Structure 1
């Protein structure tokens, strides 16, 4: 990986010079309701070429310089995923500033903590709501001098002690600055050092206050080149980006997109994903496993609702998809050829016409792969989509490793693994099973936390991930659990909860989230939240129409339904892993209640505290072995 540029800013300017007229970004905009072809609420997709993107990025960078932003000054972005997020981030880097990322769902208290801890001097805020969170705790933010709004109301709100600008106004200032200093941006980029701070991303905080992860310019430059070199991203791709760009998973893919120069369609509205896919027709999309689980459950639920032959056909096709994918993978590993028995091939061809083609069409019809990360993907879900012709390329990484550490390649998908390390990244397994990583993408430490940095980062560069896993003979990495999540029952048996949870998601099409509990207990239990979009149609068909979700999940009928899946699960587990009791939650877990991180990981301590009475009830007076 020698010879990579010093920063993504260098990479960006090189990309603009190489392909100025090629399409860079695609994004939705409202159609003027007074236009002849417009209607209230209508949208259309517009594009920016690389040259057009460069004009805006240079103006933003120069605008920041005009505000007095200098090398490594922190400039925060609090916004959902949209093209302006990318423009602001590139503007920060080209000005020599460092981006502090803030999830738009972060509450005012934690937003203030991140802005204060990072020492951010300026903030790009999506709208007045994001601005309000910053100014609400203004006394804690003495260094915050400027806020730039993406969506500004007709009248700018009050923001005492802060200079308030619209993005357009910042770009105008930048254009004026460039008239006087035409080489300002190029000079700033040329001065960037590989080890200069580029980004502070705060960990999700599943167990406490978030820590600022220091990622330097070399981290992102490495990620961009490595993603291109391993073939994960290609120059002819159309990538659909909806992931939170405040999260390292989404952020790292910007680097790869600039390295390859492919088109990125940007729209972070989760409720528009299904609508956008056939419009964008992407060749690649990245997602958290929860999205794939919801898609699978939705397909299964619709087939069940149609009943009779259609449901039987879907269940048969799902079985064939898994069997075909597993057989092809097994033979590819053993012989290098993806051969399957003739009869299975015929079944697969028939299932493709009846079922799989419709699934591919729902994804836009051109998907060559979908990258999955941030949490474990149930193998049965992976085999289903692989067999249906929408391969999920499961990968692995952490905020502390700039996300991309290993990934499955499209030409050699091995379901159940997170693929091979990216070029330039090393992986090894410690004596206790912990995965250690080393490479240019590894952070340079936690911000102002030297002791906590020393706990996970060795002097020779090896990073302790906190995950347990194994490397097979071909170098493919398999994750078995989070080190801190594994627990021991009172009988002395270790349980990897994510393994049990993944298996349950594979057998139960109604589940949304599940949390397995049993640390220090004499048996395992589970808190289970159901997928409302799937369970409510089932309830209506079984005499429970008119009831609310909370009422439905409290019925004996639904408890009996889920108990059947729990018993199926238990048949696949060791005795000490089996779920003896479970509680159906009155609502799904969500970000708003602090139970999920923005990347949809479960905050286990929060959920256990929230439902402490339910957990206590499952162990009350019990003496089962």
Structure 2
């Protein structure tokens, strides 16, 4: 970048030769500042509920939370062709699509009112200070209002992904002793299967699921009632709290508890269970002070990069994930509207008689994980590939020319008006910037999307830091970095000798990233041993991530320490980093790389992007265009495996990969990798152990076969 300035500055000196001096955000030293860390976005914000109360006072009549009404499923039947015993068989297959209404909005004042009714209802049920309400549900408006209703009543929430299996749900309910749970009717079977193991549970609150309108099963309700567990709908809970239901959406009345219960900054706000890939989920204890500090950190970017009016954020990531939870509160603090969607209905491809969530809302800001952004990029590239050759050349030229201007801070509106505005329309046409978090986003994806749509900034954080550690400024987009430390934290690097990462490395210091600040957790819930493994005596959290400190004071995350695998010849490979690069191939929907300490090369399992693979299969004459051949059949063609491998070789050349970074063999696999089948976490991260276990035979085949 031209005209760079330092994005962080040293604060004090290094405690030893094996670590760097702590670094703090540049803004803390402006206007005579001495580097003191921020702890709140505003003096009025001391606990999380204050965000709702303050915004209701400041932005009362403005739009706050919008939810789409599920109207039903629409079925379509298509003919598919598949191979059975060497014979081509044509059969009918039914496809299901979602039909949704427009967003129904509540203002900030209305949100506060619904929160007060919910909190009053919980108090009527007997919720007391420090009572726990488990939220076992997907992201929705009622998720947020129930959480804040719990704070209103003086309680705390615990979060469980809606994809969490029975054993994980039972563990989290048992460990927290939760007396209340908020969930949806379609998730009741999971709760029913373990309710006998949760003697503390007394109340089930049923909300309306975003993609289902099925009533709760009568047998399930009877089972819970017989077990002494009261079931009440969220609407009835609001009535209990003083509300009068006028129609489906409208409530009037007065809350029976007109003022929130007293809570302090050091009270627990949330016990957030992480979606780990092994063992029981671990609960991160998040206090109100931590969350308020995280909101302050996020406000460093959100507050300085908002439009004067009409700001819309698309909320679809799991609220049980700290990235979405913190981001939404930063948005609400700034008086911006959140329109909810779901991962299944983001685009028009999965809906009928309506638009997908992105085009329905036309967001100005959104957050996503790399898988989402890679999918968007590949969709755009597929459209470009279908254009005439001359148009493709113009697009490619404009892409490079606009990026050249972006790097130098030069105007780019001409490129947008001539070339890119039609592409921007695919995400609604008014996106100002977007955040990528949860994993590494490749530089190629970031460059492409930042050029053709809007600045895509990378953020870095963990549940243990309330998602806040570092982020890029949308006005300072650079490729392959995690951005500047936020004003609420200080960071440093320490040596990792066994992997040859040292703070004295040239040209830049490298090592494990440590962080300290008010938004950093004090420990895991009821797990002192695990807490001691990651927290130092003086409060530094050891992230387990390998980082690099760049000359301008920003961070680059190299990989997870546990993903650094040594091969037989002694070289380390960074699996997550390499996966982000190989995913640039248009043929990759998802993938994992596998390294074995007894082998000299890595291998890959590839879940293909079906449209690109099908198109190539037709071009090669392997299938006919009118055949709806299944993915399971496509992956069996050795010709297609070679095509995908050739695309990886192109990535190797383009990215300058060498030696142990080059994948030696691959297998294409069909089916799906989802949280529901246990191959992805709820945060859409691959569960390596489970995937390798499922395909162990293929892994063994690849090593037996040797390099392709």
Is the shorter-chain TM-score for this pair beyond 0.5, marking a shared fold? yes
Which of residues 206, 214, 223 in structure 1 aligns to 2:277? 206
Deviation of 1:373 (Å): 0.4
> Is it true that 1:245 corresponds to 2:315 in the alignment?
no
Q: Is the 8 A contact 2:124 2:241 kept in 1?
A: yes
Q: Is the 8 A contact 1:512 1:588 kept in 2?
A: no
TM-score by length of 2: 0.80
Cα deviations across residues 167-193 of structure 1 (Å, max 9, x unaligned)?
Answer: 11111111179x9997845351xx211
Which of residues 138, 141, 153 in structure 1 aligns to 2:215? 153
> Is it true that 1:564 corresponds to 2:646 in the alignment?
yes
**Counterpart-to-counterpart distance in 2, 1:85 and 1:187:** 18
Q: In the superposition, relative to structure 1, how do residues 244 and 224 fare at CA in structure 2: closer, same or farther (>3 Å)?
A: same
Where do 1:396-411 residues align within 5 Å? 396-411=460-475
Bigger Cα displacement from structure 2, 518-527 vs 450-459: 518-527
TM-score by length of 1: 0.90
Cα deviations across residues 402-423 of structure 1 (Å, max 9, x unaligned)?
Answer: 1122111111111211111221
> Is it true that 1:496 corresponds to 2:574 in the alignment?
yes
> Is it true that 1:429 corresponds to 2:493 in the alignment?
yes
The residue number in structure 1 matching 2:330 is: 256
**Counterpart-to-counterpart distance in 1, 2:527 and 2:275:** 16
Q: Is the 8 A contact 1:6 1:194 kept in 2?
A: yes
> Is it true that 1:6 corresponds to 2:46 in the alignment?
yes
**Counterpart-to-counterpart distance in 2, 1:380 and 1:513:** 16
Q: Is the 8 A contact 2:64 2:107 kept in 1?
A: yes
**Counterpart-to-counterpart distance in 2, 1:621 and 1:228:** 53
Which of residues 64, 84, 89 in structure 1 aligns to 2:147? 89
- Structure 1 runs not aligned, ≥5 long: 34-39, 332-337
Q: Match of 1:525, SS?
A: strand
Q: Greater share of helix residues, 1 or 2? A: 1
Deviation of 1:8 (Å): 1.2
Deviation of 1:354 (Å): 5.8
Deviation of 1:114 (Å): 1.6
Q: Match of 2:279, SS?
A: coil
Cα deviations across residues 301-330 of structure 1 (Å, max 9, x unaligned)?
Answer: 2343x3642xx63466246425642x3465
Q: Is the 8 A contact 1:481 1:498 kept in 2?
A: yes
The residue number in structure 1 matching 2:589 is: 512
Which of residues 70, 91, 98 in structure 1 aligns to 2:156? 98
The residue number in structure 2 matching 1:283 is: 364
Deviation of 1:257 (Å): 2.0
The residue number in structure 2 matching 1:37 is: none
Q: Is the 8 A contact 1:516 1:527 kept in 2?
A: yes
**Counterpart-to-counterpart distance in 2, 1:522 and 1:30:** 52
Where do 1:310-321 residues align within 5 Å? 313-314=391-392, 317-318=395-396, 320-321=398-399
The residue number in structure 2 matching 1:523 is: 601
Cα deviations across residues 542-570 of structure 1 (Å, max 9, x unaligned)?
Answer: 32233321111221221121121122233
The residue number in structure 1 matching 2:703 is: 619
Q: Is the 8 A contact 1:4 1:221 kept in 2?
A: no
Q: In the superposition, relative to structure 1, how do residues 258 and 330 fare at CA in structure 2: closer, same or farther (>3 Å)?
A: closer
Which of residues 106, 123, 128 in structure 1 aligns to 2:181? 123
**Counterpart-to-counterpart distance in 1, 2:693 and 2:664:** 20
Q: Match of 1:15, SS?
A: helix
Q: Is the 8 A contact 1:322 1:380 kept in 2?
A: no
Which of residues 633, 649, 652 in structure 2 aligns to 1:551? 633
Cα deviations across residues 370-418 of structure 1 (Å, max 9, x unaligned)?
Answer: 1110011011010001111411111011111111221111111112111
**Counterpart-to-counterpart distance in 2, 1:615 and 1:57:** 52
Deviation of 1:271 (Å): 2.3
Q: Match of 2:476, SS?
A: coil
Higher RCO (Cα < 8 Å, 6 or more apart): 2
Q: In the superposition, relative to structure 1, how do residues 389 and 271 fare at CA in structure 2: closer, same or farther (>3 Å)?
A: closer
Bigger Cα displacement from structure 2, 11-20 vs 390-399: 11-20
Which of residues 259, 264, 268 in structure 2 aligns to 1:186? 259
**Counterpart-to-counterpart distance in 1, 2:678 and 2:216:** 33
Q: Match of 1:484, SS?
A: helix
Q: CA RMSD in A?
A: 2.6
Cα deviations across residues 423-464 of structure 1 (Å, max 9, x unaligned)?
Answer: 111111111211111112111211110010010012222111
Q: In the superposition, relative to structure 1, how do residues 239 and 143 fare at CA in structure 2: closer, same or farther (>3 Å)?
A: same
Cα deviations across residues 85-121 of structure 1 (Å, max 9, x unaligned)?
Answer: 1111111122221111121122222222221122111
Which of residues 547, 564, 567 in structure 2 aligns to 1:469? 547
Deviation of 1:355 (Å): 4.3
The residue number in structure 1 matching 2:295 is: 224
The residue number in structure 1 matching 2:191 is: 134
Deviation of 1:353 (Å): 5.0
Q: Is the 8 A contact 1:61 1:185 kept in 2?
A: no
**Counterpart-to-counterpart distance in 2, 1:524 and 1:153:** 49
Q: In the superposition, relative to structure 1, how do residues 558 and 353 fare at CA in structure 2: closer, same or farther (>3 Å)?
A: farther
- Moved >6 Å (runs of 4+): 179-183
**Counterpart-to-counterpart distance in 1, 2:118 and 2:125:** 11
- Structure 2 runs not aligned, ≥5 long: 1-37, 74-97, 209-213, 245-251, 349-355, 497-510
Q: In the superposition, relative to structure 1, how do residues 185 and 483 fare at CA in structure 2: closer, same or farther (>3 Å)?
A: farther
Deviation of 1:216 (Å): 0.5
